[in-house]
Amino acid sequence: MLEPSLHDYLTADADLAALVAGRIHMIQLPAARRGEVRLPALTIQRVATAPEAHQGGASNLGDATIQLDAWANEYGQAKAAAEAARLAMLRLATGGAIGRPERRIEVLHVAHRGEHDDPEPPEGGRAAGGGHVILEFDVRWRRAVPSP
């Protein structure tokens, strides 16, 4: 699967880890014990998928739009985390294998579609001065097709 493999890849990126300290989550930010979110953090979500079949049946290729959200209590921290995430994703632009052995995929192409800032603070985070930067990428990858 693409998302767990991207999670593995981004968690292992030293530049990104220096900013978010392993706080990379699927879809939503988890709440801490007292209802506060630990920031800065990054979330990964697939927001669109192209069909993965052709006239001959199932394909081992995938195309998806991936959204990465950088969250922080301060705008500058969110921008820094977003930039580190953008650079990590673009290092995959020319391809490479990512993910744990049981879910390894080969990334064939990554294109940065764009980014924008969102004034919405994370739930449990500070409302004033917080930062949320949204990045979108088109990703094409190859994975094994199970035998019939």
Helices 2-12 and 75-90: crossing angle in degrees, nearest 10, is 110
pTM (whole model) above 0.75? yes
Main-chain dihedrals φ then ψ at residue 98, nearest 5 degrees: -135, 160
Rounded CA-CA distance 47/51 in Å is 14
- What are 67-120's pLDDT values in tens digits? 999 999 888 999 999 999 999 999 988 778 898 888 788 999 999 999 999 876
Q: Is residue 65 within 8 Å of residue 78, measured between CB atoms?
A: no
Say yes or no to pLDDT of 147 above 60: no
pLDDT of residue 148: 44
What CATH code is assigned to 2-142? 3.30.2000.30
- Closest among 124, 108, 125, 13 to 68, alpha carbons compared: 13
Q: Is residue 101 within 8 Å of residue 112, measured between CB atoms?
A: no
